[in-house]
Structures are given as structure tokens and as C-alpha cells.
Amino acid sequence: MDIHTIVKQVMEELQKEGQLEGSGRPDVISAKSFNSGTREIIYQNHKQVGVEQPANREEIEKVQSITPARIGIGRTGTRMKTKNYLDFRIDHAAAQDAVFKDVSEELLKELKLPVLYSKSETMDQYLMDLDSGRKLNDISRKWAEENLPKNKQVQIIVSDGLSSTGVEANIRDLLPALVQGLKSKNISLGDPVFIKRSRVWIQDDLASIVNCDCVISLIGERPGLATAKSISAYLIYQPNEDTVEADRTVISNIHEGGVPPVEAGAHLADLIEEILKHNASGVKLAQLK
């Protein structure tokens, strides 16, 4: 069931409860009709204290304001209330969409990123066969060998990973901030690329082609019920066949409710400078700093 079906069900349920736009209730649903016959449904979810006659409403509201967790929602018998159950279903549908939807072609054209592919031919293969997402397919490998600049200090990879929504929401701000930060430090940079259905380890494969010092992967993070719009950055210095996970440096939770993308871009540029200075990443870098 996709998110549009879920939202439609939410609208119908809340219509029964009188929670419509203009009702004065904290949940707002509005619908716009278009000449094409389609409708755009907007559901704005606002946190509210669902506990009946709470001993300290202000304290619950304070905690709700600083966490996305479902706190103070109350219950009906042994179950959550209808509104909270419907909110949960919407968040779950958004998480599923983040995994299975593709990053839009419009965004890729806007960012002017070459599109490469892993060996995963379908999303099902990507989810079930981890190794298929860790190598470029033959066509992309050949293209990279013939077209990407070689022997640069840094190579940037953007990947949909497990959240195309995260890429859509953050990369417009994150990528330019990172590139600008690296250029301001006079760090040489190869052409950033987008790799569909790729995993973190594909950076090792691409590094062997372009012969760079440091690879950074900006990849969609596994979505949760708190947010489906997060991405992570994985950095590694000169990966090879002996590389292990401890050799990678990771910055996660890059999204509007975590580390803002512009701020993350500047921080990552500083971090790459440190990696190049110490010729190390991951645990080794932490030990040297």
C-alpha cells in the first residue's frame, strides 16, 4: 500500500471525527482539485498531548518538542488512539517509498551528475544480494575508466542507497556546500557521480579506477518512522583489498532535523582536509587526532 492510499484513508477517518481544515483542531487536512481530475491531499501532522488529564502537560509538551519519538500520545484501552495509529501508517508508508522510489531524473539533470549503475539490476536484487550493490556493472566501469578524471585527491559519490527521499531532500544543499568547501581549501576534486542501487563499498571499486586519495559517499540512510529523509557520509582514505569497516569515517543523520545539509557540507570538507593531512580515516584517524 503506497503513501497516497494511506493518506486517503487518514482523510476519510478524520472526516468522520470532524478533524477537517477550519475545524480548529490541530490536525489539518486540505484537498485541492485540478483540471486533470487528480487531487492533491495535504495532511499536516501536529504533535499533541494525547494523555487524558495529564499530571504535567507542560513537561510532556517539552519532551515532545525535542524528540521525534511517539511520547505522550495516550491510549484507548490497551491500544493507541486512531489518530496516532494513522500517523504511524503514514510514516511507515513514507519509509517504504523512500526505499523503493528512484531519485528523480529532474534532480540528476539539475545537478549535472553522470549516472552510473551497480551490478544490481532491480531493487529486489539490491535488497537481497548485498554484493551486487558493491561493484559497478561492466558498462559503468568502462565509462568511468574512459571519462572520469584520474589522480585527484577526492572523489565524490552520491547514492540513492536506502532512501531516495533523503537524497532528494538534502543533496541540493549538501553537495554544493561540500564542493565549495573543498575548492576553498585547494583540494583537487574529480567529477562527482551518482550511482544507482549502490552500497557504501562501491567507493572502493570506483577508487581503484580513478586512483584518488579519498572517496566520500553521500548515501541515502535506512529510513525509520521518525524520518525517511536522512543521508549519511562515508569517507575512506585509499581503500584497497584489505580495507575493513573500521577504516571508514561516518557522519550520519544529515537532514533538517539532524545535522543541516549546508552545515554538514562544510564539516565534511574540514574532515576530508584532516584525512588528507594524516593519510588515514576511520579508527586510525581517530587515534592520530
Binding-site residue positions for adenosylcob(III)alamin: 200, 221
CA–CA distance, 275 with 281 (Å, rounded to integer): 6
Strand positions, DSSP E, the chain = 28-33, 39-44, 115-117, 154-159, 193-196, 214-220, 231-237, 249-254
Beta carbons of 95 and 229 less than 8 angstroms apart: no
Beta carbons of 261 and 170 less than 8 angstroms apart: yes
| Residue 49: Cβ-neighbour burial (10 angstroms; 0-12, 13-18, 19+) | middle
Residue type at 133 in one-letter notation: G
CA angle (98, 28, 220) in 5-degree steps: 15
Residue type at 157 in one-letter notation: I
CA 110 to chain centre: 18
List, in sequence order, every residue forming a beta bridge with 233; answer none if it has no partner.
218, 251
What are the b/e assignments for 185-224, b being 16+ CB within 10 Å? eebebbebbbbbbbbbbbbbbbbebbebbbbbbbbbbebe
CA 190 to chain centre: 23
